[in-house]
Amino acid sequence: MQIFHISRSGQKSDITDLLIRTTWSGDIKEVARKLEVSVAVNTNDPYFPKLYMDLGEMLVLFDDTGKELWRGYIFAKSKSLTGTETAYTAYDGLIYLTKSKISKNFKSMTAEQITKLLCTEFGVPTGQLAATNKPQSFVHHAKTVYEAIMTGYTLASHSTNRKYMPRMREGKLDVVLLGGQVAKRILTAETDLLESTYDESIDAMVNRVLIVNDKGGLEKIVEQELWRKNYGLLQDVYQREQGKDANQEARSKLYGMDRCVSVQVLGGKDAYDLVAGNAVQMIEHVTGLTGLFYIENDAHSFENGTHTLNLRLNFESVMDTYEPEAQGV
């Protein structure tokens, strides 16, 4: 692992030897991948390397072969008067799309066309955008660029039954299929699993949905009967909307059991693709956790020459969805 700093003037510096600890992390809900570094400083030693990194300047992370893994921009730094290190936090280019708001009326545009339009407007190069070929129209008022992109892909997902996620690659925005890339490594207790825990929860379960009209009158009940019998009645309400399939919308509100796995993994040269949005195979006989899992979040930690990972895995891929405030306008 190597990290370079690129100043506003374009000067490139290898800061790897000055790093005390590094964490590279991502989450399917937080979107922009984050790099946190602690850099050694010594103001009392005139021979100690002096490093100045300003907010807005770039950091670039490379793997052990020199392949670029990530690039981003410093958004925060912290240093105390007597401290021996300075902490920096940087995010990839998606951070600008999550913090910039727009007001637009999209008419008969596919999600990929919306993404291309907005990225051009905000100066973000695009790479491979998942094709949906599903034109749609909706109003997007005073919400972020990221939410507009994901609203387009959420609407498309209703028809394609696929789940999408944006991510940055070498400075370009891709939109990929969740779980479309499977990590090279297979996780096993014999080789690299340091710890694993399995959690089940019905906190978010919805097993019955009432479809009502605009006056609140009941029209239909949609439910998962077995869930209701096993876990008790957990009910939501859907009010019929013009231009939408009420049955489909109600069924989309049904939600089952959350089942997640948290694992700690030994890192290495083949572990850099264990990132949020990808899938991974795991074989763990003690807890019976064997099969294909979807990575919800990841944190790669580098300290004292050791690379470890903490992963949260899900049995199903979960998309960060956004519904429009108005359609067909």
| pLDDT in the model for residue 34 | 98
User: For 283-312, what is each residue's pLDDT tens digit?
Assistant: 887 767 789 999 999 999 999 999 999 999
Q: Residue 241: its pLDDT value, please?
A: 86
Predicted confidence (pLDDT) at residue 237 exceeds the cutoff of 90: yes
Whether the pLDDT of residue 71 is over 90: the answer is yes
**Taking residues 162-183, what's their average pLDDT?**
97
CATH 2.40.30.150 is the classification of domain 182-201+258-314? yes
So what's the architecture of 96-177 in CATH? 3-Layer(bab) Sandwich (3.55)
- pLDDT-based confidence at residue 245 (cuts at 50, 70, 90): confident
- 197-213 confidence digits (pLDDT tens): 888 899 999 999 999 99
Look at residue 150 and tell me whether its pLDDT is greater than 70.
yes
Residues of the chain with CATH 2.40.30.150: 182-201+258-314
HEC assignment per residue over the chain: CEEEEECCCCCEEECHHHEEEEEEEEECCCCCCEEEEEEECCCCCCCCCCCCCCCCCEEEEECCCCCEEEEEEEEEEECCCCCCEEEEEEECCHHHHHHCEEEEEEEEECHHHHHHHHHHHCCCCEEEECCCCCCEEEEEEEEEHHHHHHHHHHHHHHHHCCCEEEEEECCEEEEEECCCCEEEEEEECCCCEEEEEEEEECCCCECEEEEECCCCCEEEEEECHHHHHHHCCCEEEEECCCCCCHHHHHHHHCECCEEEEEEEEECCCCCCCCCCCCEEEEEECCCCEEEEEEEEEEEEEEECCEEEEEEEEECCCCCCCCCCCEECC
CATH 3.55.50.10 positions along the chain are: 96-177
Locate CATH 2.30.300.10 in the chain. Answer: 2-91
- The pLDDT tens digits for 23-69 are 999 999 989 999 999 999 988 888 888 889 999 999 999 999 999 99
The answer, yes or no, to whether residue 126 has pLDDT greater than 90, is yes
Assign domain 2-91 to its CATH superfamily.
Answer: Baseplate protein-like domain - beta roll fold (2.30.300.10)
State the average pLDDT for the chain.
Answer: 93
